[in-house]
Structure formats: structure tokens, C-alpha cells
Structure 1
Amino acid sequence: MGESIALGVPANPKQARSRKTKEKIVQAAIKLFQKRGYEKTTSNDIASEAGVSVGSFYVYFTDKRQLLLIIFDRLADELYKNVFATLQPEHLFDSDLRRLIRQAIANTITDKQKYSGLHRVVSELLIKDGDFAARHKAVMSRSIAKLRELISLAHKAGLTWEIDVEAAAFVVHRVVFDVSQDYVTGCCEFDKERAIDGLADMIHRYVFKPRA
């Protein structure tokens, strides 16, 4: 890919000024990766966009690949938190669970569209780079495990149909992921709000029994 491979994650700087410089580099990289893609963005470009010297870039990061890995991990954590903010165990008993499911789906699509360029970059690298593929697989597994936990709790509480919990978690995750990817890539022209409503209805009726 034109730059050396780096797997280590640099420690967070202790001084406020250093942390600010590092964050400027991260934000500059996000902007350029979004706009130009991975291959057409160099470490020098990122340093220039951040307003720092190339030497300063290499104080915090070994190369652009390491930086992109760090950005991927950060955005994955951010997406996970936003998606499951309205889907915690206590929410399973909410009288308007369908609304909470809809919000989680909307958060997924909105967050991924916010960084659509980065998601496209990662999608391209998945078939080229084993570390990105492994990280992506771990992110998918984490989300499926959380869904499995929630559906299992709901099942034990008598809130669901008699379903295969593991299969339900996989199917729910897959359909939301696939639809969200269509909006990220721009290949879907169907009204987004209607699609979110349809997904919310489908998942709610597939997993949960009507409330008495």
C-alpha cells in the first residue's frame, strides 16, 4: 500500500498540547480519507492538512495505515455506543419498544452516512488487508453478541416468539447492516425514513410478541 505496516497502537500523550496535536492529525486524516480515499492520501498530506510538520506526524503515528486502524477502532466504538444507547436490557420492557428499535436503526444509518467515505475505504481494504478484516469481523461479532444477549433476555422474559435466538441475532444484524451499507455507498434511492420504518416493523414483529 506504499507505506510500512504498523500494528502497535501509540500511547495517548500525557500533555494537553500533545493530545491536541495528535487529535488534529486524526481529524485531518478523517477529512482526507473521506474526501480522497486511502491510496490517494499520504502521511505528508495529513500533516499538511493538520498544520503540523511531517516529523510531528511520525511522533504520534508510524504511518497512515496505523492511523486508519486507530480511526476505524474509534468510529466502531462510537457507532456501537450510539446504536445500543436505546437498546439496553431495561428497554426491553418499554411500552413503545418498536420506537426504540427504530431509533437504533436510524442511529446506525445516520452514523455510517456521516463517515460514508471512511466506510467505503474500509470496505475496499477488507479484501486487501488481513488486520482490517480481523478488526471488522470482531466489530460484527461484538454487535451480534449484544443482540443475542438482548434477544435471549427478552425470550426468557416471555416477550418473544419461540425463535432461534442465535439465528435471530444474526439475521437482525445482517439486514440492518446490509441496508445501511446501501445508503453509505449511495446505491439506494429508496426513501430512507420509509426504509427505517419498514425495518423497525419487520424486526419488531419478527422477534417480539404483541403486548397484552
Structure 2
Amino acid sequence: MFDSTSPSPPGFESPPGGGELLPALPALAPLLPGGGLRRGAAVSVEGDTGLLLALAAGAASDGAWAAAVGLPDLGLVAAAGYGLDLGRLLLVDDPGPHWPEVVSALAGAVGLILLRPGGPVAPQLATRLTAVLRRGGCALLVAGAWPGAGLRLSVRSGRWFGLGEGYGQLRGRQVEVAAQGRGAANRTRTARLWLPDEHGAARPVEAAEAAVAGPVRGSLAAV
């Protein structure tokens, strides 16, 4: 578990202070206001770990450290496939009821936090933690609901490719992602993506691929 009193890992530095936005992978940028994740803001990611990891990979691509809190089953191989640097990822698998204190301690040291809260989050707690994130210039990706989240993303439907009738190997998943929030993000934006594609990365579904695949159906969370 992360200990806020312990020395920082070798090469660890505070999140870069320049710019209000953390970058996003090109496939996801059209879904985000300004094309990136806003520092000091919380984004709710409903029901899909693959989408959470793809968002994190883009945001951490500028060299900032990231931390995953309360996600003991996080797929590290999948995270690396999307481009997340595992050498700059702190893991706090089981913070228990102390997860708010862990988030507060990390907010001033890393540029991005991935979080699964240990239960429903009271609006007052969310407001307090958002203020801490804002002071630290840290973005928060929440696996689940978050009161007052500036943006909510979800996978509406998905379909895996590569399996025949009981045989074969999964080679990719096409999904429809929706994003909705407040202010500039009030209008729902959607995109059809490979999440992941055959190389484990995120990329848009091309028109020719969509025509061959047909409608995207079903809902499967990535690992």
C-alpha cells in the first residue's frame, strides 16, 4: 500500500504544472471537451475497465505518474497494451475505508488517479476531494458513479471478434462509447471504437470495418 510518509520512488516527481488538460489517445479525444482530461476534475467511467485504462493511458502519456486505488483486479497487461507506462503506475489495491485519505495524499504527487471507491460517495466528500484534486492539478478517473462529475463516459454496447462456434482466439472488441457532462460537454457525443483492437490498442472503427461487422450488440466489459 502507498504510504504518504515513505520516500518517493526513484525518479518520482510532482505532476507537470503546465496546461489545464491532460492528453487523450487520438481515438478518445473527440469524446472529451477540449480533447483531453481536465486537471482537478473527476470523470465517471461506468462499467468498463477497458475504457478506464484507455483514458488513463492517454492522460499519462506526457510522463506524469499515475495511481490506481481500490482496483486489485486491474488488468496490467491490458493497461500496457493501451500504452500505460507500468513503471510510472502506483498501485493501492485495498485501501479499505481509508480510500479518501489515500486519494488526498496522492493528489499532490501524481497527475492522474484511477479510483474505485469502497461504496457510495457522499456529495460532501466528493466536493471536498475535488477541491484537493484542483489544488494538486490532478485528474480523477472513477470506476463508477461520482457526485458532480464533470463528464460521464460509458460503453453502450460491444461485440468481440475472433471466436467461431466454440473455437478461435479473441482478436478485438468493437464498442459504442457515449460521453455526456455539463457545460461544453452537455451534448452527448458517441464514437465507435476498437477497444481493444488486435494489437491491444484503442482506435476508431473505420467505415469499411463497420459495414462488414454490422450493428454492435451486447455489452461486455474489457479486462
Bigger RCO of structures 1 and 2 (CA < 8 A, at least 6 apart): 2
- Greater per-residue helix proportion: 1
TM-score, reference length from structure 2: 0.28
TM-score, reference length from structure 1: 0.29
Larger Rg: 1
- Greater per-residue strand proportion: 2
